[in-house]
Structure 1
Amino acid sequence: MTAPHLIRSVVNRINTLLLIRSIWFPKLVKIVWIVTLTIAIGVPVYVYALIANPYNLFGAMPTLREIENPHNDFSSELISVDGVSLGRFIRYNRSPVTFSDLSPDLVNTLLVSEDHRFHSHSGMDFAAYFRVIKGMITFSAQGGGSTLTQQTAKNLFRTREEELSGKLSKLAEPLEILISKTKEWIIAARLEENFTKEELIALYLNTVPFNNNAYGIKVAAETYFQKSPAELNIQESALLVGMLQGTTIYNPVAYPERAKRKRNEVIQKLYRLGYIASQVETDSLKALPLQLNFNIQNHNEGLAPYFRAALQNELLPWCKERGYDLFESGLKIYTTIDSRLQQYAEEAMREHMALLQKNFEADWGDRNPWVDDNGYEIENFLEKKIHQTEAYKVLKLTYGNNVDSINLKLHEKKSMRVFSWRGQRDTLFSTWDSLQYYYKFLHAGLLAVDPSTGGIKAWVGGINHTYFKYDHVRQATRQPGSTFKPFVYGAAIENGFSPCQLYYDIAPAIPVNGRIYQARNANGTFGDGKQYTIRQALARSLNSVSIQVIKEIRPENVASFAKRVGITTPLDPVYSLALGTSDVSLYDMVAAYSTFANLGFYIKPYYITRIEDQNGNVIENFFPVPKQVLNESTAYTMIHMLKGGVEEEGGSSRALSEMVKSENEVGGKTGTTDNGSDGWYMGVTHNLVAGVWVGGDERSIHFPHWGEGSGGKAALPIWDKFMQKVYANAKAGFTQGAFKRPVEFNINFDCDKYTKIDSLLTIQ
């Protein structure tokens, strides 16, 4: 091409460009202005409309006050008197922490992994947004763009849930996402204005779920490592932070290898961004196993599950009256329970009941333990019981009167996990098999109280709360047998009797409803004809003498005395009341025996000292209310009477271990019902009163031989094991010692002067 042609070509191109510019540039400028004005005006209008939510187009937004005081659904926590968490009342198992409760390793791992520009942005990370947009354009994953503050906004105010969605959100999913994201941006900006960065970190970690019923970092640290958040190291922090990217797929219990890979990715990122100093340290951390100390928290696990269940029923109406949600208000409920004593009580029960159950099954062999008064198996026992089950009621609704179909389903085998003293086991059982299996178990309850304060220190309502929900401390009432006799003798002491009062061991003939009644002693005889003091009679648990005494002082006076010292259940004022034929609860029995140890002051056993809100403000304090119901002399004399079980020859408490009796004043009383279906032991020391009940859930279920189910063999060993464990730990504060003695007490317990039968023995 020649030079003139080249010049002409260039000129033509320039002219063309100038023409295009003259035509399109004004249009381009116009478009830019339109877009700019649209953004400048449209975005504020959109944001304002979203906040105002006209006609519910966008869905609700939290108010400024709600953002300034964000509410998180924290579970309420039970705390023992020695500062140990006993568990939580959970809808979502969550408990709050502050920034000072977090380890530096945890904080830095979170920020490096999830939002390393956290301290330099104000709730929105525009660099992250551009990275996400680039990833969308190039179809390559570039990571998420949400900041920790935005995620906190989403978790706190549930911006993605349907109840917060407006009419526009339902039109299309992209529109729903845009609206939700916008809400999160707005809330995040306001959170940044109202909270420090440290507060936001804690707020975020309080809101996130970690699977396995763990919500928030505190519960997660306890669930997976049995640690507090302040104790978490780098590798533990990396595991939990890694879970935030997928709590199900990175669940270390269900998928340990996958969780470990994610943990190691987080550790490598910590090295890459400078938090870990060297590759050698990084590699050593990545080589470590997960080292879980997993313990899922639920209503059935942990210390004192029966206590927690009983307390929940009481706290629900208390919370309702005061406008709190027990499951979401983050209350701190401080109790009188001592975690150490609670642990000892549960251990003592497990140790003895496992052995007792083994003996029970061996004694019955292939026979069923539900028998009538003559020792014959009760016909149709299981048929009657199965009709009371939910499984039967559902089948009845389904099949109506088609008995064959119902029975076929009741006997249909299916996989199930059942309780055993050797641990849970998987088996093939029908509903019928399951019922027969579980009715053969013996059950138990234990309650321990500090008599001077009324504070409950240990509450064990049964052998396993997962499988047996019925509480044998307060819910159940059973015949107390001879453990009721101290109330007979207490009423007698109050009416002028002395512990040295002499009676013949001869069962009196008493007319009852036109028939003659004579009470046999535990050995099956009507007495040996010898003389015994009433202290010796109580120690030996002689029915013959207690019947003579109640006839002398009248049954209604005994019932009144028992009511005064703490028994709240109905008592029949009849002669057999002396043998413990009216049902009582273990809770009441321990309270009544505590009245003796507390020099005549009755204190209703209590278990809450105070309740605080989630900010530590005390909502209510609880105090025991002592009431003097006996004079000090009567109460102390009854302690002397109860000590006879340990000190007198033939006493029913002499089987207690030397460790418990050594350098210690101990009073105790065994109790057994006629057929041996209830075994009791009530033990009294100067600073701890505890009672134990053992038996079948049905009164017809008991050992084939009376003695094996007696209080001395079924219940006393649990009390003894419990007290041995208590005394082995001096730091628990319950040591051996002497009972409180009245300041003015002139009664002489020397019985040598009682050489002849007292006139009170003349009973017709």
Structure 2
Amino acid sequence: MPFKTKLTTFLKKKWVKFSFIGIGVIILFFIGLYFSIYLGAFGKLPTKEDLSSIKQEEATQVLDSNKKLIGKYYIYDRQPLEFEDFPEHLIQALVATEDARFYEHDGVDNVSLGRVFIKSILLRDKSAGGGSTITLQLAKNLFGRKHYPIVGIIVNKFKEAIIAKRIEDIYSKNDILTLYFNTVPFPDNTYGIESAAQKFFNKSAKKLTKNEAALLVGTLKANNYYNPRLHEERCKERRNVVLNQMVKYNYLPQDSLNVLSKHDVNLSYHSFNHDVGIAPYFREQVKQELTQILDSINKADDTEYNLYKDGLKVYTTLNSDMQRLAEEAMASHLTKLQTAFEASYGKNSPWKKNSALLEATIKKHKTYKILKEKGLSHQQIIDSLSVKRDIEVFNWEGDTIQNISTIDSLQHYLKLLNTGMLAIEPKTGAIKTYIGGIDYRYFKYDHVSQSERQVGSTFKPFVYTAAIENGMKPCTYFSLSEVTYKNYDNWTPSNSGSKEEDPYINYTLEKALSNSINTIAVKVFNEVGIPKVINQVKKLGITKTLPEEPSLALGVAEINLKELTGAYASYLNNGHSVKPYAITRIEDKHGNLIAEFKPEINKSEAFSDYTKEVMLEIMKATVNSGTASRLRNTYGLTNDIAGKTGTTQNNKDGWFVGLTPNLVTVTWVGNDNHSIGFKSTGLGQGANSALPIFAKFYQKLNANTEFNSITKSRFNKPDSKVIEDLNCEPEKRDGFLKRLFGKKNKIKNFKVE
């Protein structure tokens, strides 16, 4: 039978006819589907004009004083780069692994796409691969995918193919690679190669090694599955697959593969999560300030800036290297102090034994309030809060998952000491280090900007400053003896310490302040007068309304740590207080200046040069021979340092103010619950609770030559008049007749004028 006849006979068979009809229907279906997608039946496709002005959300970057990245504000963690910023081996790794014919096709690799349709769609072979090109992936990254019933995968693939071809018509291959690298998602909710490089290797993408580039490209196959932070071994295997692909396509010699594939995964993970990473309290404070600043500034087109999307650059005063040292010093000291604090109470700790304290804490808890509003009784709420479950809790030894109840958790956090620390440049107020608490994940309350605590003896220098400024001589002597002030409820201030003091001994101002003598501070305060002291404090930039009572001399006033630091800066800034500030300038993503900020320095002098020099000499004595002498004796610091310790009533707050010529540092330590103080003065005094953070911080600064401008700075020699006026015996004893006829304890009225 001739071939033509055989063919005709074959085509006339029913099953052949139906097969061709079926194939035709399928072809027509796909053609119709394609054109319906093209015409917008499944949603409007971006036009070439739309694609020409692609605008991606970009993270706002927070930079330190050396332009190091310390944080970001974002919805999607993305930082764009230019093509020139990508190392060649990074591009080669991507092309070799994701799209070997990238430079040959027009956005769609028809061979690969055909394979997907046949294997994935018709044969349901999930191992067939995606058949995707870099351009197709870019289309998916830019516009995402939508869910469609039955033919969803086909619709999305067609849409991406149309968009990919339009992208190829508009952009060069280099532009496409740039868009891809700036938008592709990496592990840990990270978008763009620059953000990924910063997060996983703490470096810019342009500095990625071949191994690092291959590792990050390898994660694109499955972000979570190949997350190097979570799955190191499988990530290493995937990295080596990428390296093998580079060899296969002649981007890498075999001998290099033999060496590189043996390397371990070495991450330098640097999270930019809002709750973790360096200086989280500082970054949160900067964010709050930025929100207010941007509310008052519009773009050229009169639209508002978006902190999370517009890719701004925020330059700050913080020194991230100093900040790390400060955080290390704080953690080192608080770890030991917390252990001693708990041990001092033993079994009689207030967070366990004081039922009233615990109940008050429970009633303040948000869950208690919610359940109360729902109508549950107190006992029902307690029963609910007593149910145990797995909870992650903070510990200095390392965070742990514990099976505890909400009440157990509240007891745990009741016992934890907290801290605040701020270091600024005294001449500008530029913030160099900022610690608002022990761990931002668990303690959102900022003890630098939000908290107000009694400042204790750190207030005394202000009293003595007012005294000297109003004519009191440094060698004025005051008796140690106690005085009862009958017009203030017979208040009798006493000195800390257990030993009985000789009431016939008299101290100079220097001796009294350097040893933080309470009885003399109140006498000096009485001599100067409440109005003059309060006026002096206002000149120092402290805006808090102060209590007009004698106990103010001992620091009963609750003052913000930031204001206290700015006030102390005046002793190093020719009598001018400063306002600590964090932001220096803000730029848009193109580098155009949006806003710039200058130091806020109090224009008027709070006191004379003479007063400044006298006070500095007195506060130097505090460090050399007074309450802060352990800086020399225990910690071996030889820097030029002036300072003041502070401890409040019942040992609730410990303070230390450290002054060096180019840095003012204030530290505070205490419990967030005002009902809980240190068990003893020996443990809770500022010299023991707060001073060691400063000491350890300066030990670390001294070990690093980068900070020589701070650590090796020296105070100017005081004027000869100051030296002469301080040249007297620090103490003297009353004569025989005065001891014979004088009264040890006096009763008098405190001046009210």
Q: How does 1:430-441 map to 2 (within 5 A)?
A: 430-441=405-416
The answer (yes or no) to whether the contact 2:652–2:684 under 8 Å persists in 1 is: yes
Alpha-carbon distance change, 46 to 643 in structure 1, aligned in 2, over 3 angstroms: same
- Cα distance in structure 1, aligned partners of 2:344 and 2:98: 63
**1:670 maps onto 2:645 in alignment:** yes
Deviates more, 1:526-535 or 1:552-561: 526-535
**1:311 maps onto 2:294 in alignment:** no
Q: How does 1:326-341 map to 2 (within 5 A)?
A: 326-341=307-322
How far off is 1:661 after superposition? 7.7
Deviates more, 1:145-154 or 1:489-498: 145-154
* Other-structure match for 2:65: 81
Q: How does 1:192-591 map to 2 (within 5 A)?
A: 192-278=168-254, 281-321=256-296, 322=298, 323-369=304-350, 378-397=354-373, 400-513=375-488, 515-523=489-497, 528-591=503-566
* Other-structure match for 1:711: 686
* Other-structure match for 1:128: 112
- Cα distance in structure 2, aligned partners of 1:13 and 1:424: 84
The answer (yes or no) to whether the contact 2:424–2:432 under 8 Å persists in 1 is: yes
**1:643 maps onto 2:605 in alignment:** no
* Other-structure match for 2:132: 146
How far off is 1:621 after superposition? 1.3
- Cα distance in structure 2, aligned partners of 1:421 and 1:385: 23
- Cα distance in structure 2, aligned partners of 1:536 and 1:61: 81
1:353-404 residue CA offsets vs partner (Å, 9 max, x unmatched): 1111111111111112369xxxxx6441111111111232344355x33444
Alpha-carbon distance change, 491 to 762 in structure 1, aligned in 2, over 3 angstroms: farther
- Cα distance in structure 2, aligned partners of 1:12 and 1:46: 40
Whichever of the two has the greater Rg, that structure is: 1
* Other-structure match for 2:674: 699
The answer (yes or no) to whether the contact 1:499–1:641 under 8 Å persists in 2 is: no
- Cα distance in structure 1, aligned partners of 2:170 and 2:2: 63
The answer (yes or no) to whether the contact 1:676–1:709 under 8 Å persists in 2 is: yes
Alpha-carbon distance change, 749 to 70 in structure 1, aligned in 2, over 3 angstroms: farther
1:487-531 residue CA offsets vs partner (Å, 9 max, x unmatched): 111122221223223222233332335x22221112366873322
Q: Compute the TM-score of the two structures, normalised by the length of structure 2.
A: 0.86
* Other-structure match for 1:94: 78
Deviates more, 1:498-507 or 1:674-683: 498-507
Alpha-carbon distance change, 469 to 527 in structure 1, aligned in 2, over 3 angstroms: farther
The answer (yes or no) to whether the contact 1:556–1:574 under 8 Å persists in 2 is: no
1:710-753 residue CA offsets vs partner (Å, 9 max, x unmatched): 001111111111112112212133232333579x9854543347
* Other-structure match for 1:685: 660
Alpha-carbon distance change, 328 to 356 in structure 1, aligned in 2, over 3 angstroms: same
- Cα distance in structure 2, aligned partners of 1:627 and 1:708: 37
Alpha-carbon distance change, 187 to 751 in structure 1, aligned in 2, over 3 angstroms: same
| Other structure's SS at 1:386 match | helix
- Cα distance in structure 2, aligned partners of 1:193 and 1:497: 84
1:127-179 residue CA offsets vs partner (Å, 9 max, x unmatched): 43344345456766553333322322322233x257xxxxxxx6x452x5555
Amino acid at match of 2:265: L
Equivalent residue pairs, number: 712
The answer (yes or no) to whether the contact 1:503–1:532 under 8 Å persists in 2 is: yes
How far off is 1:229 after superposition? 1.9
Alpha-carbon distance change, 718 to 254 in structure 1, aligned in 2, over 3 angstroms: closer
- Cα distance in structure 2, aligned partners of 1:702 and 1:566: 29
- Cα distance in structure 1, aligned partners of 2:747 and 2:205: 74
Where does the alignment leave 5 or more consecutive residues of structure 2 unmatched? 13-19, 299-303, 735-745
* Other-structure match for 2:90: 106
| Other structure's SS at 1:423 match | coil
How far off is 1:540 after superposition? 1.1
**1:594 maps onto 2:573 in alignment:** no
How far off is 1:564 after superposition? 2.0
| Other structure's SS at 1:656 match | helix
Alpha-carbon distance change, 62 to 615 in structure 1, aligned in 2, over 3 angstroms: farther
How far off is 1:627 after superposition? 2.2
- Cα distance in structure 2, aligned partners of 1:482 and 1:248: 54
1:24-48 residue CA offsets vs partner (Å, 9 max, x unmatched): xxxx9xxx9xx99x98xx9998677
How far off is 1:257 after superposition? 4.2
How far off is 1:303 after superposition? 1.0
| Other structure's SS at 1:366 match | helix
1:544-576 residue CA offsets vs partner (Å, 9 max, x unmatched): 222122222221222222122122222112211
Q: Compute the TM-score of the two structures, normalised by the length of structure 1.
A: 0.85
How far off is 1:579 after superposition? 0.6
How far off is 1:285 after superposition? 3.9
How far off is 1:334 after superposition? 1.0
- Cα distance in structure 2, aligned partners of 1:188 and 1:379: 68
Amino acid at match of 1:522: S
The answer (yes or no) to whether the contact 2:484–2:748 under 8 Å persists in 1 is: no
| Other structure's SS at 2:327 match | helix
Amino acid at match of 2:673: E
- Cα distance in structure 2, aligned partners of 1:259 and 1:94: 22
Q: Considering only aligned residues, what root-mean-square deviation do their CA atoms show, in Å?
A: 3.5
Q: How does 1:63-78 map to 2 (within 5 A)?
A: 66-78=50-62
1:158-212 residue CA offsets vs partner (Å, 9 max, x unmatched): 3x257xxxxxxx6x452x5555445544543454455443332232122122222
Alpha-carbon distance change, 340 to 283 in structure 1, aligned in 2, over 3 angstroms: closer
- Cα distance in structure 2, aligned partners of 1:314 and 1:735: 31
- Cα distance in structure 1, aligned partners of 2:586 and 2:269: 29
The answer (yes or no) to whether the contact 2:469–2:608 under 8 Å persists in 1 is: no
Amino acid at match of 2:597: F
- Cα distance in structure 1, aligned partners of 2:170 and 2:596: 33
Deviates more, 1:319-328 or 1:424-433: 319-328
The answer (yes or no) to whether the contact 2:329–2:693 under 8 Å persists in 1 is: yes
